[in-house]
Chains A and B, each alone.
Chain A
Amino acid sequence: MSEKNETLVTPQEEVKDSRLGFLKKISSGVFASLLLPAVLKTKQIQAAEQDGVEISLPEQKDDEDVILRMMREIQRALAKPVEERHWAMVIDLRKCVGCRACTVSCIAENKLPPGVVYRPVMEEEIGTYPNVTRTYLPRPCLHCSKPPCTPVCPVRATYKRKDGIVVIDYEKCIGCRYCVTACPYGARSFDFGEFYTNNTPQIESYEMQADFEYGREWKRDGKKSPVNNARKCHFCLHRIEKGLLPQCVVTCIGRATYFGDVNDKESIISELIGRPNVMRLKEELGTEPNCYYLV
């Protein structure tokens, strides 16, 4: 913008300007998270197991987008040893509009086949017309502190990591589906090896693309894992370890999903968990979920 314009800012233009600034901020955050996987893929080969890859974020500002703040917090957490991190998620149900961008982006990120869904959004209508509201409840894996799904596994293929994430070792899983049954939140799915383009002239190539869960390449090939395995949300562990937010957090259009390290008392997630309107699902089961809801 020229100097002349700057001196002649009308109120309307100011609004426009701040809007533009807002969009810029968002786009920088979204862009960073969208472009980085491509950049990192080449890096991944060199430093496959290296945690906390430095991602250059724009200079910190007081009114910056919450996505950027959370990315800074992830970087801070990654600087610590893994056992000192404690990942958790907060979903603000008042902000959720039920767009399912999280559901879809998760399917895209993890190349989920039919019948496998990590983050469905439940819908409930309350009241009768004209006094009626509709609520939406996204449900990722809640990564319980006392998960009922891990002890039942006969082969120790699913377990809780030191940073709180409940993972499945696809190579060990025998596909008995006991964990699927044992989850009180229905957060586990079974991969039957289906394709969306089944019964069409050909299985489209985009369905055959490998996914990169747990930081390694899983090709969709016949009955090989993860086909015939239990599958679940892993907070996009492969992204977190590269300093990125889970895909559902990035794509949430209402910024309703927050993610971070609970052990970091400065983090936004710690702030939100201390709110009076926080709740967790099925507390009576004693599972102590690490996914909180603001109602």
Chain B
Amino acid sequence: MKKLFWSALIVLSSIGVIAIIWRLSVGMKITALSSTVSWGMWVAFYIYFIGLSAGSFLFSTLIYVFGIHKLEKAGKMALISALFALLGGMLFVWMDLGHPWRFWRILTNWNYRSVLAWETLFYVFYITVVGLEIYHLMKFDFYNLAQKCSGWKKSIYNFLTLGFRVPDDPQQLEAMQHKTMKTVKLLGIIGIPIAIGVHGGTGALFAVVAAKPYWFGPIFPIIFIVSALVSGAALSTFLYAFFGEKDDKDYLDIVKALANYLVLFIGIDVLLMFSEFSVNLYAGLPDHSRVLHQILFGSYSYIFWVGQLFLGIILPIILIALKKNDPKWLGAAGLSAVIGIIAVRLNLVIPAYILPALKGLDKAYQDPRWSYFYFPSIGEWITTVGAIAIIITGFAVAWRFLPIFDHSNVTGLVGAGSTGGVEHGKR
């Protein structure tokens, strides 16, 4: 089983690497995009991964900032997910650029009026914060692992410690661990507005476009943040239920707590979605309601009914309600929501393009690159599957070699930072 998993990943990611090289050498020609439908599946997956990342990170702050001890054992896992999901998002948006090798100009030729430019800056800050937080949480483990291992592993772990040394004196060690948790908490506090900026900002990217009434409006960034929380909680539930520490005495409690957060976030998400759909359909302004009609009853309505509604909302809630004490089913609920959110992302991006900007513009010029119909090309599918495989491979390697479930050092010290008292740091 394990062998099958790894070989499938390696085959798919090699296809991904080849497909991305092909994409880079041929250009945007390989997509089914047009001058009218200018953003497609890659952008949907870009916001999907950014959402997963921001959601996982915000989830981790429940632990490291708000001191929810119960979930602490899933903390490092959430942060590692946040890191790799962000890298996934970056990969997708980079691939989507017409001139990918000019991407650095966003930083050197920065435009303070562009939401996209701000976003890029946020991603840089965000990746720094997440990276630092992971480092601080794991530096003790890295050091210990470096002592235990030999060969290339030793040098990698040694490198990861960045010169950090665990002191021999236990008292000194404990003080240092408390100090570290304070730093982690501080990073988490700094990270909250950045993570909200990262995903709320990604929502704002769309929400500020007055040309697309479907996107335009203040509720859109909020929907992004809430659906990010849904996907973050769902991913954590799924990962911890299936790959977490099944022997741990808290295992079931943690999975259950994660699933409960998932239900809570889905509830808020449904509320926002209902508001968005009901208000706009009732008012019936054509620019907005016609898009919603397409989502609900158009040729791609299965994305809404099967993906967004059934997989994203109904199935997870049913599973969590009926199989409260079965971690397998709770994990399946998480997986279902993780997949359902893909449908949410597709429906956030693509339907905005179905209406021509001006009456008759769709018929004013005939060309496949001027089409209002969009279905991803084979090239887009292959690169998408390949890029996802690359991200999962990276994540799986990190999962295999990083001390994600090593609780020997800083676990149990959450909340200690706020009082600074050593006595609070129970083991």
Is A111's CB within 8 Å of the partner chain B?
Answer: no
A158's closest neighbor in chain B, by CB?
A: B111
Q: How far is the CB of B43 from chain A (nearest CB, A)?
A: 9
Bound-complex Cα distance A177 to B39 (A): 8
Contact indicator per residue, chain B 91-120, by CB within 8 Å of chain A (1) or not (0) = 000001111101101100111011111001
Is B418's CB within 8 Å of the partner chain A?
Answer: no
Please indicate the chain A residues that have their CB under 8 angstroms from the CB of B360 in the complex. Answer: 122-124, 137
Bound-complex Cα distance A180 to B35 (A): 7
Secondary structure of the A side of the interface?
A: loop
Q: How far is the CB of B364 from chain A (nearest CB, A)?
A: 4
Q: How far is the CB of B121 from chain A (nearest CB, A)?
A: 10
Question: Which one, B36, B103, B205, B368, contacts A174 given CB within 8 A?
Answer: B103
Bound-complex Cα distance A59 to B358 (A): 42
Please indicate the chain A residues that have their CB under 8 angstroms from the CB of B361 in the complex. Answer: 120, 122, 139, 186
If the complex has contacts A123-B363, A175-B97, are A188 and B35 also in contact, measured as CB distance less than 8 A?
yes
Q: Would B35 and A181 count as touching, CB distance under 8 A?
A: no
Is A190's CB within 8 Å of the partner chain B?
Answer: yes
Contact indicator per residue, chain A 159-178, by CB within 8 Å of chain B (1) or not (0) = 00000000000001111111
Q: Would A194 and B358 count as touching, CB distance under 8 A?
A: no
Please indicate the chain A residues that have their CB under 8 angstroms from the CB of B367 in the complex. Answer: 114-115, 117
A to B contact number (C-beta, < 8 Å)? 156
Is A93's CB within 8 Å of the partner chain B?
Answer: no
Bound-complex Cα distance A180 to B208 (A): 14
Interface residues of A, count at CB 8 A: 49
Is A21's CB within 8 Å of the partner chain B?
Answer: no
Interface of chain A residues 91 through 131 with chain B (CB within 8 A): 103, 114-117, 120-124
Is B275's CB within 8 Å of the partner chain A?
Answer: no
Q: Would A228 and B211 count as touching, CB distance under 8 A?
A: no
Bound-complex Cα distance A215 to B282 (A): 52
Q: Would A192 and B27 count as touching, CB distance under 8 A?
A: yes
Please indicate the chain A residues that have their CB under 8 angstroms from the CB of B370 in the complex. Answer: 115, 117, 189
Q: Would A186 and B116 count as touching, CB distance under 8 A?
A: no
Please indicate the chain B residues that have their CB under 8 angstroms from the CB of A137 in the complex. Answer: 358, 360
Bound-complex Cα distance A117 to B361 (A): 11
Q: Would A154 and B116 count as touching, CB distance under 8 A?
A: yes
Q: How far is the CB of B331 from chain A (nearest CB, A)?
A: 37
Secondary structure of the B side of the interface?
A: loop
Question: Which one, A122, A151, A173, A190, contacts B113 given CB within 8 A?
Answer: A151
Interface residues of B, count at CB 8 A: 48
A157's closest neighbor in chain B, by CB?
A: B109
Is B402's CB within 8 Å of the partner chain A?
Answer: no
Please indicate the chain B residues that have their CB under 8 angstroms from the CB of A151 in the complex. Answer: 111, 113-114
Please indicate the chain B residues that have their CB under 8 angstroms from the CB of A222 in the complex. Answer: 27
Bound-complex Cα distance A188 to B358 (A): 13
If the complex has contacts A115-B370, A186-B356, are A181 and B97 also in contact, measured as CB distance less than 8 A?
no
Is A279's CB within 8 Å of the partner chain B?
Answer: no
Please indicate the chain A residues that have their CB under 8 angstroms from the CB of B26 in the complex. Answer: 223
Q: Would B28 and A281 count as touching, CB distance under 8 A?
A: no
Q: Would B109 and A156 count as touching, CB distance under 8 A?
A: yes
Q: Would B39 and A115 count as touching, CB distance under 8 A?
A: no
Bound-complex Cα distance A123 to B361 (A): 8
Q: Would A175 and B33 count as touching, CB distance under 8 A?
A: no
Bound-complex Cα distance A216 to B96 (A): 28
Q: Would B114 and A192 count as touching, CB distance under 8 A?
A: no
Q: Would A176 and B97 count as touching, CB distance under 8 A?
A: yes
Is B5's CB within 8 Å of the partner chain A?
Answer: no
Is B29's CB within 8 Å of the partner chain A?
Answer: yes
Q: How far is the CB of A191 from chain B (nearest CB, A)?
A: 8
Question: Which one, A152, A174, A183, A185, contacts B98 given CB within 8 A?
Answer: A174
If the complex has contacts A122-B359, A156-B109, A189-B35, are A115 and B368 also in contact, measured as CB distance less than 8 A?
yes
Is B210's CB within 8 Å of the partner chain A?
Answer: yes
Interface of chain B residues 195 through 212 with chain A (CB within 8 A): 205, 208-212
Please indicate the chain A residues that have their CB under 8 angstroms from the CB of B368 in the complex. Answer: 114-115
Is B365's CB within 8 Å of the partner chain A?
Answer: yes
Q: Would A186 and B357 count as touching, CB distance under 8 A?
A: yes
Bound-complex Cα distance A190 to B33 (A): 9
Q: Would B114 and A281 count as touching, CB distance under 8 A?
A: no
Please indicate the chain A residues that have their CB under 8 angstroms from the CB of B114 in the complex. Answer: 151-154, 178
What are some 8 contacts across the A-B interface (CB < 8 A)?
A117-B35, A123-B363, A124-B359, A151-B111, A174-B102, A174-B103, A174-B105, A175-B102
Q: Which chain B residues have a beta carbon within 8 Å of chain A's beta carbons?
A: 26-29, 31, 33-36, 38-39, 96-100, 102-103, 105-106, 109-111, 113-117, 120, 205, 208-212, 356-361, 363-365, 367-370
